[in-house]
Amino acid sequence: MSPAAFAPAEPEPTLFPDHEERRRIEDWLTNALIEASARVQRGPVTPTLDLSAFRAELAAYDFAAPRTLGDMLRWTIDRLQVGLVQMGNPRYFGLFNPAATFPAQCADRIASLFNPQLASSASSPVPVEIEAHVIREVGRRAGLTAPVSGHFATGGSEANYTALICALTAGHPQFATAGTQAYAGPVRFYTSRECHIAWLKIAHQAGVGRAALRLVDTDGRGQLDPLALRNMIAADRAAGHVPLMLVATAGTTGGGMVDPLDACAEIARAERLWYHVDAAWGGAALASERLRGLLQGIETADSITIDAHKWLATTMGCAMFLTTHGALLSEAFHCSTSFMPSSVSGVDPYLNSVQWSRRFLGLRLFLALCVAGWEGLGRHVERAVDVIEAIKTRLVASGWTVANESGLAVLDVLPPPGYADVRELVKRVVASGRAWVAPTSFEGRDVVRICVTHGETRESDVAELVAALNQFGASQ
Ligand SMILES: Cc1ncc(COP(=O)(O)O)c(C=O)c1O
């Protein structure tokens, strides 16, 4: 007897509209996003919506009564336009968050449509090859000796976590099975006080404990002090601790400073430490012939973090972990299971990284590199440095003092005497919506931190920033 014919229900039309309806909505969305982007560029940098009113509005969304997708898309764009700090505004001189490049945005759309599963090379042969190619080329650009391994990660924190896991795996053959008990004493790793402090969370989640992170003094100019590092390692060894990894930062979060990479490499070699360079933001300087010399020494690293979602301006959630120790990386993340369509060590991303299921992140940088080339990306990076120089010149001319000497696109400045203190001044500027800057501490002093992250910042934006800083600084 043949089985009864099966007629499944029609696909849920609100979730899977037909092609005509999709085309209508996609066309509307494309136009609406272009309009929104123009409004964001002209509008205030800071959120203007009343958050308590928004919470009340949101509470009414109890999902009992469906609404149309068209209405919801319009609502979402309207609220986002007034409900966040706008990285797409050229007067956002903020943290390292960029205005995303257009090729990266296109890549995101394509990845959303195909939704490839990048865990396995058998599931996604083309995406996996594209990502591996970008990793190799970026590694080559950094001067790493072939073969370069690595993968895309969700952010610098994940990539830095990967470095610690590699260091732990490399440091003792029993770590993989016994964990840190394999070591003869508590493990320690070293980075400067000016590092990105996510290292603390990384130490915590890796199970080595936050005390494993040793913050080395800086030299008064925001760079790791090699002598202080040597002394700290010696003291730790004498106390029975096990030094494991040295992290140099190439482009510190607060001041855009680059640690002495060659000196750090020498110490790491002499002390037999894993040498990681956290170039989450500053790594973008590799794109520029004019600036890449600032990262001299990065090629000696065992591993490197470079975020594409910072200065390389992809959409959010896109970083790279690069290493010359491919076999070690595979050892750190290997496992085996019968249900995966492929299990090729060193090839399948799920055997090579923290993540299992993963999004096609690398396409964003691949497309940007294809259309701009290293030269175009280099111009994007140099432009940011030139804009920072222009801001510096104008502020110095009106009595501000420069605190950091970075050749990259971060400027830390102290207001002229008689101005409001830094935190109050920044609060006023940000509240005005005219520009966004951050207060931070650099070498023990409160400074105004200005970073160029937008590829389209113009003279008028610089003038507005400088005017706002002087106006809100001077008024008491
Ligand atoms: C030097 C440095 N490392 C790591 C990170 C963390 O990167 P992510 O925010 O992508 O996790 C940052 C973030 O600003 C950073 O500046």
Give the pLDDT confidence of 190-207 residue by residue, as tens digits. Answer: 999 999 999 999 999 999
pLDDT digits (tens, 9 = 90+) for 371-421: 999 999 999 999 999 999 999 999 999 999 999 999 999 999 999 999 999
Compute the distance from residue 297 Cα to the ligand 1 centre, in Å.
Answer: 20
> Which residue bears the tokens 């999902």?
63
Residue 156: CB within 6 Å of ligand 1? yes
* Cβ proximity of 115 and 124 under 8 Å: no
Work out the pLDDT band at 1, boundaries 50, 70, 90. Answer: low
Whether residue 468 contacts residue 45, with contact meaning beta carbons closer than 8 Å, is answered with no
Task: Give me the pLDDT at residue 464, please.
Answer: 97
CA of 251 to the centre of ligand 1 (A): 10
Residue 196 beta carbon below 6 angstroms from any ligand 1 atom: yes
Closest by CA to 362, choosing from 329, 423, 332, 320, is 320
Q: ∠416-419-425 over CA atoms, to 5°? A: 115
DSSP helix/strand/coil, 441: strand
Residue 306 near residue 138 (C-beta atoms within 8 A): yes
Q: From the CB of 259, is ligand 1 less than 6 Å away?
A: no
In the chain, the N- to C-terminal Cα span, in Å, equals: 90
Evaluate: CB of 154 within 6 angstroms of ligand 1.
no
Q: Which atom of ligand 1 is nearest to the CA of 309?
A: 10
| Ligand 1: centre distance to CA 284 (Å) | 13
Average pLDDT, the chain: 96
Going from the Cα of 55 to the center of ligand 1, the distance in angstroms, rounded, reads: 30
Ligand 1: does its nearest atom lie under 6 Å from the Cβ of 274? no
- Regarding the beta carbon of 276 and ligand 1, being less than 6 Å apart is answered no
Predicted local confidence at residue 140, as pLDDT? 97
Sign of the CA dihedral 387, 388, 392, 395? positive
Over the stretch 208-248, which tens digit does the pLDDT of each residue have?
Answer: 999 999 999 999 999 999 999 999 999 999 999 999 999 99
Q: Which residues, other chains included, contact 463 with Cβ-Cβ below 8 Å and sequence gap of 6+?
A: 394
For residue 321, give the H/E element and its range. Answer: strand 319-323
Determine how many CB atoms are found less than 10 A away from the CB of residue 243. Answer: 23
User: What percentage of the chain carries pLDDT values higher than 70?
Assistant: 100
Tell me which residue has its CA closest to atom 5 in ligand 1.
Answer: 156
| Other C-beta atoms lying within 10 Å of the C-beta of residue 469 | 28
Q: Is the CB of 159 under 6 A from ligand 1?
A: no
Q: Is 127 in the pocket of ligand 1 (CB under 6 A)?
A: no
Give burial (CB, 10 Å; 0-12/13-18/19+) of 444: exposed
Q: Which atom of ligand 1 is nearest to the CA of 319?
A: 10
Which SS3 state, helix, strand or coil, does residue 439 take?
Answer: strand
Q: Is the pLDDT of residue 2 over 80?
A: no
User: Does residue 116 have a cis bond before it (omega within 30 degrees)?
Assistant: no
User: What type of residue is 3?
Assistant: P
Q: Tell me how far CA of residue 320 lies from CA of 228, 386, 423, in angstroms.
A: 30, 26, 34
pLDDT at residue 146 in the model:
78
- According to DSSP, residue 450 is labeled E
Q: Would you give the distance in Å from CA 179 to the centre of its chain?
A: 29
Quick one: pLDDT at residue 336? 85
Number of H helices, E strands in the chain: 14, 11
